[in-house]
């Protein structure tokens, strides 16, 4: 596995009034990993990835991406640098087709990538949009209005929108929530495929999915980092069992 540190946090903290949603978290993810972020409800997982993506600002601490301090960078700059965050279906435009939704993401990525010679901007947009839709298995649904698609397909569309940003780090927040068993199986295959070209950080409640996909697991509890380890280490960790796995 590659050993380059992609992203690192030091003392990352976010308080909401008196509540320590994320407290002094030191975290590191290496390029090429699939990392699962788990923890009980309210553990601070969404707050933590929101800090990484720049959707919210930290109360204290720092974030480095490829060795550069990005703590103060706005969300759009982090997207340009290669951090994509797909959060629930709220990012989809229901009145646009699947193709149009993904094309919007491609366009924002194209602003930072040089255009290859011999291909018009329109052709490139078309090709990249189709590629992203095909990678998630929605090639046949390109013309469907996003708002009329099934829940599972909307989740996949959201992943396609993330992929279209050509991220180095793709953060997925509870991507299998609401999917059928068959859809979950396809989704796991998709994440493995995505991991060939991007590092994946996955918030996931479905433990079989976590155990199947993750190279390593980070456990949060009450905003604090409780454990880091391989799936086997986390499964065997008594503290984790007590606060999380045993509670399921």
Ligand X SMILES: Nc1ncnc2c1ncn2[C@@H]1O[C@H](COP(=O)(O)OP(=O)(O)OP(=O)(O)O)[C@@H](O)[C@H]1O
Site residues for ligand X per CB under 6 A: 16, 19, 21, 39, 41-47
Residue matched to tokens 């720092």: 62
Shortest spacing between CB 26 and ligand X, in angstroms: 18
Nearer to ligand X, 133 or 234 (CB): 234
Nearer to ligand X, 42 or 231 (CB): 42
Residue matched to tokens 């959060």: 87
DSSP 97: B
Kindly state the tokens that stand for 38. 């788990």
Nearer to ligand X, 44 or 54 (CB): 44
Nearer to ligand X, 47 or 97 (CB): 47
Shortest spacing between CB 222 and ligand X, in angstroms: 9
Shortest spacing between CB 45 and ligand X, in angstroms: 3
The Cα–Cα gap between 248 and 243 comes to 9
Shortest spacing between CB 41 and ligand X, in angstroms: 4
Cα maximum dimension of the chain: 59
Shortest spacing between CB 56 and ligand X, in angstroms: 7
Nearer to ligand X, 39 or 175 (CB): 39
How far does Cα 15 stand from its chain's mean position?
22
238-244 long-range contacts (CB < 8 A, ≥24 apart) are 243/40, 244/38, 244/39, 244/40, 244/219
For residue 38, list its beta bridge partners.
219
């Amino acid at each position: 596995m590659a050993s380059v540190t992609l992203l690192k946090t030091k003392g990352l903290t976010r308080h909401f009034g008196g509540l320590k949603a994320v407290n002094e978290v030191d975290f590191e993810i290496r390029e090429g990993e699939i990392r699962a972020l788990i923890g009980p409800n309210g553990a601070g997982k969404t707050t933590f990835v929101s800090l990484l993506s720049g959707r919210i600002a930290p109360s204290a601490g720092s974030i480095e991406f490829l060795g550069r301090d990005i703590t103060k960078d706005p969300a759009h700059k982090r997207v340009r640098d290669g951090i994509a965050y797909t959060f629930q279906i709220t990012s989809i435009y229901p009145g646009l087709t699947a193709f149009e939704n993904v094309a919007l993401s491609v366009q924002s990525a194209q602003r930072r990538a040089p255009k290859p010679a011999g291909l018009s901007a329109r052709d490139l947009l078309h090709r990249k949009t189709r590629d992203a839709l095909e990678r998630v298995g929605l090639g046949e649904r390109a013309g469907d209005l996003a708002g009329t698609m099934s829940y599972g397909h909307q989740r996949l569309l959201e992943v396609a929108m993330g992929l279209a940003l050509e991220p180095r780090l793709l953060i997925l927040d509870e991507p299998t929530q609401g999917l059928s068993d068959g859809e979950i199986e396809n989704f796991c295959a998709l994440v493995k495929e995505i991991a060939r070209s991007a590092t994946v950080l996955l918030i996931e409640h479905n433990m079989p999915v976590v155990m199947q996909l993750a190279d390593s697991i980070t456990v949060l509890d009450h905003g604090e980092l409780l454990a880091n380890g391989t799936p086997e280490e986390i499964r065997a960790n008594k503290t984790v069992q007590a606060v999380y796995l045993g509670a399921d």
